[in-house]
């Protein structure tokens, strides 16, 4: 006979995976020192379950995930340093990326029978080796444009501050979870696809906002747009991504 307790247990089981994944994404963007303290506190706690009764990810899994993220971050910084990005090199990258739209990426073998745009993520197996290399490069350049400095051989004369806003479906957010110093806000979509392929209405989204330094020619903003288009065409696979850059009159960061 079904009881209330059984129904509650069933719901907990069904939500466990989703809860763990969302918690993992949130923890990945927390300060390392704070996270270590929380792990220690959780390990020493007598009650190893959350208030809601759902078993949290083990401390070992969290530690391994954090270690893996740090390893990938170090590797990204090393790759960026080798690019030696400046305005001349960025202009070349933008020119190359503009030529490679979705149709051209498929025609030149960067993509192998990818899902229809506006549906599922494009996976590694749906990209060729050169497609995976191009995606990695686009993410590296995107990161460098936002956060690169002399320590990573990124040389721009950044003369003004701009604010980037990017909206990504929540279930695809992990594609760009390598971003740092980012404000994340939950939101629901309102766009309806006239072809009924990828309606965004009431879809759970993540709104990402971060400030970056722009050069006088505004080439960095152009580069950000080109790299996001490339990342979308090679992995995120949305028909429409909200992407906006505006001048920052007064920084919201106070030291």
Average pLDDT over residues 102-110: 97
The per-residue pLDDT for 69 is 82
Higher-confidence position of 68 and 149: 149
Domain ranges of the chain: 4-57, 67-247
Strands, sheet with 183-188, edge to edge from the N-terminal-most edge strand = 183-188, 204-214, 160-169, 242-247
For residue 186, how many other CB atoms are within 10 A of its CB? 9
The CATH architecture annotation of domain 67-247 reads 2-Layer Sandwich (3.30)
The per-residue pLDDT for 253 is 44
Q: What gap in Å lies between CA 89 and CA 187, rounded to an integer?
A: 36
Residue 29 neighbours by CB under 8 Å, 6+ apart: 177, 180, 182, 184
Instruction: Write out the H or E segment, with its range, that includes residue 73.
Output: helix 59-83
Average pLDDT over residues 78-84: 97
What digits encode the pLDDT tens for the residues 199-224?
Answer: 455 578 888 889 999 999 999 999 99
- pLDDT of 5 over the 60 cut: yes
What digits encode the pLDDT tens for the residues 23-34?
Answer: 777 777 666 777
Q: What is the mean pLDDT of the chain?
A: 81
- pLDDT of 105 over the 80 cut: yes
Dig out the tokens for 198 from the structure.
């990828």
- pLDDT of 252 over the 90 cut: no
The per-residue pLDDT for 128 is 97
Q: Which segment of 35-39, 110-114, 235-239 scores lowest on mean pLDDT? A: 35-39
Pairing mode of beta strands 160-169, 242-247: antiparallel
What digits encode the pLDDT tens for the residues 40-63?
Answer: 666 655 445 554 455 555 667 777
State the pLDDT confidence band at 106, using cuts at 50, 70 and 90: very high
Average pLDDT over residues 157-180: 87
Q: Which segment of 4-18, 61-75, 159-173 scores lowest on mean pLDDT? A: 4-18
The per-residue pLDDT for 17 is 66
DSSP tally for the chain: helices H, then strands E: 7, 4
Average pLDDT over residues 137-156: 97
Higher-confidence position of 12 and 100: 100
Show the CA angle centred on residue 173, arms to residues 98 and 136, nearest 5°: 45
Average pLDDT over residues 162-173: 90
- pLDDT of 226 over the 70 cut: yes
Going by C-alpha positions, the residue among 139, 149, 155 that lies closest to residue 75 is 139
**Which of 91-99's residues contact partners 24+ apart within 8 Å by CB, and which partners?**
91/219, 93/141, 93/223, 93/226, 94/219, 94/222, 94/223, 94/226, 97/138, 97/226, 97/227, 97/229, 97/230, 98/226
Residue 123 neighbours by CB under 8 Å, 6+ apart: none
For residue 64, how many other CB atoms are within 10 A of its CB? 12
């Amino acid at each position: 006979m079904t009881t209330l307790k059984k129904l509650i247990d069933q719901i907990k089981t069904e939500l466990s995976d989703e809860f763990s994944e969302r918690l993992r994404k949130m923890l990945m963007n927390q300060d390392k020192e704070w996270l270590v303290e929380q792990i220690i506190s959780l390990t020493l706690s007598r009650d190893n379950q959350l208030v809601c009764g759902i078993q949290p990810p083990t401390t070992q899994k969290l530690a391994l995930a954090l270690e893996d993220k740090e390893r990938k971050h170090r590797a990204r910084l090393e790759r960026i340093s080798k690019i030696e990005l400046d305005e001349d090199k960025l202009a070349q990258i933008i020119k190359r990326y503009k030529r490679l739209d979705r149709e051209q990426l498929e025609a030149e073998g960067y993509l192998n029978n990818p899902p229809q745009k506006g549906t599922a993520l494009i996976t590694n197996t749906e990209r060729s080796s050169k497609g995976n290399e191009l995606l990695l490069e686009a993410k590296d350049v995107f990161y460098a444009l936002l956060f690169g400095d002399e320590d990573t051989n990124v040389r721009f004369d950044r003369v003004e501050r701009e604010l980037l806003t990017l909206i990504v479906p929540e279930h695809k957010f992990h594609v760009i979870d390598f971003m740092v110093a980012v404000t994340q806000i939950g939101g629901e979509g309102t766009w309806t696809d006239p072809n009924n392929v990828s309606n965004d209405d009431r879809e759970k989204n993540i709104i990402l906002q971060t400030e970056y330094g722009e050069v006088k020619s505004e080439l960095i903003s152009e580069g950000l747009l080109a790299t996001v288009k490339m990342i979308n065409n090679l992995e995120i696979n949305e028909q429409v991504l909200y992407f906006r850059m505006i001048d920052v009159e007064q920084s919201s960061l106070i030291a």
